[in-house]
A and B are shown apart, each in its own frame.
Chain A
Amino acid sequence: MMTIGKAKLGLYWACSCGGCDIATLNIHEKILEVDAAFEIVFWPVAMDAKVKDVEAMPDGSIDLMLFNGGIRTTENEEMAHLLRRKSKILVAFGSCASEGCIPGLANLSPVSSIFDVSYSATPTTENPQNIRPTITWQAPEGELHLPGLFPVLRTLDQVVPVDYYIPGCPPESEEIAAVIEQVTQVLDGKASLPPKGSTLGAGKSTVCDECKRTKNVKEIHQFVRIQSLERIDPELCLLEQGLPCNGPATRSGCGALCPQVSAQCIGCHGPAEGVIDYGARLMSAFASVIASNDPKEIGQILDGIPDPAGQFYRFNLAKSLLRSGRQAWEGLEEGK
């Protein structure tokens, strides 16, 4: 794939925290290479641009679009469709776009309770009239519009076709740099694009592959919080020490940074290659090696994970087979 002049690069953020953009900036000197190879045509966090500018671009003219953030509002969805039309290669960039990430956990709550917490319940909120956002509102100056909030968060590929995925919350700057490098090679005609649907920048195995800790045959007698351990063995596998480390199910490529400093992996780097439901894999793995055959004892050991949905689906609830809790959509089936 050869382009005339510099290739066009776009970055967009939907329902996200901004970390992916910071991670991109964090590639340090490589940003100069980016500048050399690409013309950044749209990056709301870093430069001024209007949606109508994007609408004016010819379809397919953005060579590489790095889209981070999940689809939670009507604006997110509109932009997803728009940017898909305008991009040659659309990448679900980071955990939010790929699998829902932390905002996806809101899929365990109905919108009404999300609003209650956001607009009433927190101690520092003063909203005596219980005001809630509305899509349209008459101001003296005219009618104002707000994007609507969907009942659940969806991943980018649940809304538009996606070409590639880069996992991570955020993706490691090295991984981003590697992907930029890979795409630059393609643009120079020195390499070909990987098959559509591939995951870029990351490894083929799981975090355990990169983790330097000693791994023995697994036999779990307890799950504990890190604070309750008197001492963490710096050499031994964290799971074997009772910490529910998600490393075994989480894709490699991040360098196993967290377990190296005795922080158990929380699973931000997505599922391993070919896995359909991350949480299912992980819970199956943990449960299979619990060292007990007595249901009562097993229950007690599992009490050490008081929030299984959070533990096993922290980053990928929106991409799981069930996609959300029933609480989020109950009532919708009767029509609104």
Chain B
Amino acid sequence: MAAESETKQPQERIGVYVCHCGSNIAGTVDVAEVARWAGEELKDDGVVVSRDYKFMCSSLGQEMIQKDIVEQGLTRVVVAACSPHLHEATFRNACARAGMNPYLCELVSIREQCSWVHTDKAKATEKSKAILAGGVLRVARDTPLEPMRVPIHPDVLVVGGGVTGIQAALELANGGKHVYLVEKDSTLGGHMAQLDKTFPTLDCSACILTPRMVSAGNHPNITLLTWSEVTGVSGYVGNFTITIRKKARFVREDLCNGCGVCTEKCPKKVVDDGFEAGLGYRKAVYTAFPQAVPKYPVIDVENCTYFIKGTCKACEKFCPTGAIDFNQEDEILTVPVGNIILATGYQTFDARRIPQYGYGRLANVFTSMEFERLSNAAGPTGGKVTLRDGKTTPKTVGIIHCVGSRDKKYNEYCSAICCMQSLKFAHVVKERTGAQVYEFYIDMRTPGKSYDEFYLRNLEEGVLFVRGRVAEVTDVARLPGEEGKLIIQAEDSLIGKQRRIPVDMVILSTGLEPRDDAKEVAKLFGISCSADGWYIERHVKLEPISTMTEGVFIAGCVVGPKDIPASVAQGSAVAARVYQYIQQGEISLEPYRATINAEECSGCRICNDLCPFNAISYHEEEQVSEVNPALCQGCGTCVSACPAGAITGWGFSDEQILAQIEGLMAVRS
């Protein structure tokens, strides 16, 4: 940290380059004048060369800079052109090739932030001078920096064993990389395993998913950890240490052969709120569904008679291999990995939040997941579409779109899959029951391959469509024909009338939401969520599966609602990216880091809790704090918080920024 009375240094030799960018900048800013001005007025600040050129980013433009570095002995370079987000790397690399440390080159924007947004030429030119002056004063205080190179551990952590996680894991494993596939539930499969048919092909979901599940379960390169959760993440890209809690199943995997006798003999029946969405039962010792991978059951301690009262133990008695172990403990594993893929998926919107739709109060109002289980051949009714009583076939069914989605009161976004899901339901209902089906929609969103054709098919099958948001679902009859029915009241916006349509069964096409623990999990891995709760990608269009945190990737619905093909594509995409990193063997990180001067640090510990990446540690013995440069992401929050001014933010130091402010204010008519 320089003292206020600066020690005299030899002055820098600064080269200034003002770009015309064709007419993008030159059309509004008098670039020749700006270059001339800098050459004359900023001489005392170190400018020795000041040029303007049509396209600085072209090879000729870059060569111009390189020539000056060599021939004029430039020690700093400022380019006034487009946004640093576009070409900072271009100019820095050009300087590096000419032998100058790339971090001694600054790019200031006089395009996106000047010529493109202002109309008054005189004012835009004056502002460009100010921006350039800011850049010149700043660059004089830049210090040469070296990027950090870190090696990449070849193992990969995939969190989430749904279709996306399985895809990513298989792609990597097939490529010879070792993957830890961690799944919170007792089986792979995720929500896709709960579905009956998948649109638009109406493939049986389990039929297409289970072979993948089996591959993943058997793959020699995949360490499958189900009934497990990541509890700790430390380290940085290429070098993470992951702590995983493998919860006790109370079943020994080395002895269990998956015969299922324990489940058969277990006397305790429990409502299955998980896989069966509350529509069916399971036992206290259970596998989630018959094709579960792995095949080992788990004991639900909250409902197991032994764990509650100390009696029963039927499973242990009848197990032919002696695999039940009531004393099994959770296992804590600590593993090193180089990259992390988060594919933790979604949860469905809780329809109870919309009381006027009657879910939870009116028996025959179903959520989409409930209907999936209902219509599933392996489900509680063997695939028969019936009312809540399990027996009666409905004669009329209403399907309501956008439940909890596209709604300022709940979630403003569109859940992407519900229109197709609703059409699927309509088709299934018609096929199985011949019932009259009404679809209440706002828009029909069927953009995918064969999606719109599926919609047409529904129309041809005689499904009736009412365009309008449903106001309520009620059992209070007012008009003749409504007695004993559920009445859906909606505005039919195409005919401009309110309608009351009596039905036997209502299916709420509930939207997708981030999981309840999504924010917590994001924090654990050091990434951020958007305001909606979906994980934020590095760039919405160009980097959809990386995050701002190096080494942590995201795929599938955890990024935002999407259908199965898109999820699978992202699973492959993220695997390809990770594979690339592993193959490179090492990665270079931007050198924007903070360091603490131990002599000036008083050990006040004000900085300690300010780092979301846990880069700051406190040394009890020496009573000073320290920043781990590998973990530091360069945000600079600790730099500005330190009351002793003992922390330096390399690349964005106090000196650099204060100088820039001075420069920006130096030009004023």
Chain A residues at the B interface, C-beta cutoff of 8 Å: 195-198, 204-209, 215-219, 247-249, 252, 271-276, 281-282, 284-285, 288-289
Interface of chain B residues 583 through 603 with chain A (CB within 8 A): 599-603
Question: In the complex the two chains form, is B602's CB within 8 Å of A207's CB?
Answer: yes
Total A-B contacts with CB atoms under 8 angstroms apart? 96
Question: In the complex the two chains form, is A204's CB within 8 Å of B605's CB?
Answer: no
Do A206 and B604 contact each other (CB < 8 Å), given the known contacts A197-B5, A272-B646, A281-B642? yes
Interface class of chain B by DSSP? loop
B330 within 8 A of A: no
Question: In the complex the two chains form, is A218's CB within 8 Å of B1's CB?
Answer: no
Question: In the complex the two chains form, is B641's CB within 8 Å of A247's CB?
Answer: no
Do A204 and B600 contact each other (CB < 8 Å), given the known contacts A197-B3, A218-B606, A274-B3? yes
Question: In the complex the two chains form, is B7's CB within 8 Å of A195's CB?
Answer: yes
Question: In the complex the two chains form, is A281's CB within 8 Å of B643's CB?
Answer: yes
CB-defined contacts of B605 to chain A, threshold 8 Å? 215-218
B637 within 8 A of A: yes
CB-defined contacts of B642 to chain A, threshold 8 Å? 281, 285
Sort chain B's interface into a size bin: 20 to 34
Distance, CA A156 to CA B608, complexed state (A): 37
Question: In the complex the two chains form, is A248's CB within 8 Å of B644's CB?
Answer: yes
CB-defined contacts of B618 to chain A, threshold 8 Å? 217
CB-defined contacts of A219 to chain B, threshold 8 Å? 609
CB closest residue in chain A, given B5? A197
Distance, CA A248 to CA B647, complexed state (A): 13
Distance, CA A195 to CA B4, complexed state (A): 13
CB closest residue in chain B, given A319? B4
Distance, CA A190 to CA B409, complexed state (A): 79
B115 → chain A closest CB, angstroms: 32
Do A272 and B645 contact each other (CB < 8 Å), given the known contacts A207-B602, A209-B603, A218-B605? yes
CB-defined contacts of B602 to chain A, threshold 8 Å? 205-209, 248, 252
Question: In the complex the two chains form, is B608's CB within 8 Å of A205's CB?
Answer: no
Using an 8 Å CB-CB cutoff, how does the interface string of B11-49 with A read, 1 for contact, 0 for none? 000000000000000000000000000000000000000
CB closest residue in chain B, given A282? B643
B640 within 8 A of A: yes
B557 → chain A closest CB, angstroms: 28
Distance, CA A98 to CA B644, complexed state (A): 18
B658 within 8 A of A: yes
Having A209-B601, A248-B643, one finds 13 other A-B pairs with CB under 8 Å, namely A205-B646, A208-B644, A209-B602, A209-B623, A271-B645, A272-B600, A272-B643, A274-B4, A274-B645, A276-B654, A281-B644, A281-B645, A285-B642
Question: In the complex the two chains form, is A288's CB within 8 Å of B600's CB?
Answer: no
A242 → chain B closest CB, angstroms: 15
CB-defined contacts of B623 to chain A, threshold 8 Å? 209, 215
Partner of B599, one of A195, A205, A217: A205
CB closest residue in chain B, given A256? B602
Question: In the complex the two chains form, is A276's CB within 8 Å of B658's CB?
Answer: yes
Question: In the complex the two chains form, is B604's CB within 8 Å of A248's CB?
Answer: yes
A-B CB proximity, top 3 nearest: A274-B1, A285-B643, A249-B643
Do A247 and B610 contact each other (CB < 8 Å), given the known contacts A272-B643, A285-B641, A285-B643? no
Partner of B609, one of A207, A252, A289: A289
CB-defined contacts of B1 to chain A, threshold 8 Å? 273-275
CB closest residue in chain A, given B4? A276
Do A217 and B608 contact each other (CB < 8 Å), given the known contacts A275-B644, A275-B645, A282-B643? yes
CB closest residue in chain B, given A278? B643
CB-defined contacts of A205 to chain B, threshold 8 Å? 599-602, 644, 646
Distance, CA A274 to CA B645, complexed state (A): 7
CB closest residue in chain A, given B6? A197
Distance, CA A216 to CA B608, complexed state (A): 9
Distance, CA A195 to CA B623, complexed state (A): 29
CB closest residue in chain B, given A289? B606
CB-defined contacts of B494 to chain A, threshold 8 Å? none
Question: In the complex the two chains form, is A215's CB within 8 Å of B604's CB?
Answer: yes
Question: In the complex the two chains form, is B3's CB within 8 Å of A288's CB?
Answer: no
B86 within 8 A of A: no
CB-defined contacts of A197 to chain B, threshold 8 Å? 3-5
Partner of B603, one of A215, A249, A274: A215
B495 within 8 A of A: no
- The residue among B1, B605, B606, B642 with the most chain A CB atoms within 10 A of its own CB is B606
CB closest residue in chain A, given B641? A288
CB closest residue in chain B, given A250? B643
Using an 8 Å CB-CB cutoff, how does the interface string of B527-555 with A read, 1 for contact, 0 for none? 00000000000000000000000000000
CB-defined contacts of B479 to chain A, threshold 8 Å? none
CB closest residue in chain B, given A280? B640
B308 within 8 A of A: no
Using an 8 Å CB-CB cutoff, how does the interface string of B645-669 with A read, 1 for contact, 0 for none? 1100000001000100000000000
Question: In the complex the two chains form, is A204's CB within 8 Å of B599's CB?
Answer: yes
CB closest residue in chain B, given A275? B645
B249 → chain A closest CB, angstroms: 38
CB closest residue in chain B, given A281? B643
CB-defined contacts of B610 to chain A, threshold 8 Å? 288-289
Question: In the complex the two chains form, is A285's CB within 8 Å of B606's CB?
Answer: yes
Distance, CA A204 to CA B608, complexed state (A): 21
Question: In the complex the two chains form, is A217's CB within 8 Å of B600's CB?
Answer: no
Distance, CA A1 to CA B4, complexed state (A): 26
Distance, CA A208 to CA B1, complexed state (A): 19
CB-defined contacts of B600 to chain A, threshold 8 Å? 204-205, 272-274
CB-defined contacts of A275 to chain B, threshold 8 Å? 1, 644-645
CB-defined contacts of A215 to chain B, threshold 8 Å? 603-605, 623
Q: Write 11 A-B pairs (CB below 8 A) sorted by A numbering.
A: A197-B3, A206-B604, A217-B608, A218-B606, A273-B600, A274-B2, A275-B644, A281-B642, A284-B640, A285-B643, A289-B609
CB closest residue in chain B, given A272? B644
Distance, CA A215 to CA B640, complexed state (A): 20
Distance, CA A284 to CA B603, complexed state (A): 17
Question: In the complex the two chains form, is B645's CB within 8 Å of A273's CB?
Answer: yes
CB-defined contacts of A281 to chain B, threshold 8 Å? 642-645
Distance, CA A57 to CA B609, complexed state (A): 58
CB-defined contacts of B644 to chain A, threshold 8 Å? 205-206, 208, 248-249, 272-273, 275, 281
B395 → chain A closest CB, angstroms: 53
Distance, CA A253 to CA B640, complexed state (A): 24
Question: In the complex the two chains form, is B609's CB within 8 Å of A218's CB?
Answer: yes
Interface of chain B residues 121 through 147 with chain A (CB within 8 A): none
B1 → chain A closest CB, angstroms: 4
Distance, CA A125 to CA B654, complexed state (A): 49
CB closest residue in chain B, given A276? B4
Distance, CA A282 to CA B641, complexed state (A): 8
CB-defined contacts of A289 to chain B, threshold 8 Å? 606, 609-610, 641
